[in-house]
Amino acid sequence: MNMSLDEGLVDFLYRWNRTESPNGMNIVDLDVLQKREEHPGKFGARDETRKALDALLDMSDDSTPMHPRQKVTGCDAYLSVLDGAELSLDAHVQRTMGVVPVMIDEAVLDAQRERNAALLGTLGFAHTREGVAAY
């Protein structure tokens, strides 16, 4: 059966989730991807999971829409870590979320804190732990 990347990704995620569930892991957010029987089965082992994922990676290139490409790349990063690869936090975030983490300048944070304090004040709340909790 010849599947599109989208169809293959959905099938892959259902099967991978069923494979890892006995290990106490949910691979996908099941609010987004419900447990449906239209995608039966699971992988026999992680090497079978890896082969299926590699086939999806081969289907993905620069012309692939961003969301499915990032989803496949994120699966690759996560499966690599499950298989024992070590990734720095920056590399993990970049491969799973598609962004490079950077520190926010303290001046930007200070400016936002001042803005938040002013906005809370217009609503009658103090910019304190208690004031934010009461808001």
Token reading at 124: 């009658």
CA distance 10 to 100: 26
pLDDT at 101: 83
CA distance 113 to 98: 28
pLDDT at 50: 95
Token reading at 100: 């490079």
CA distance 100 to 122: 36
pLDDT at 100: 82
Question: How many of the other CB atoms lie within 10 Å of CB of 55?
Answer: 13
Question: How many of the other CB atoms lie within 10 Å of CB of 13?
Answer: 17
CA angle 57, 73, 53 (to 5 degrees): 40
pLDDT at 69: 85
pLDDT at 34: 65
pLDDT at 64: 85
Helix (H, G, I), strand (E, B) or coil at 118: helix
Under-50 pLDDT residues of the chain: 1
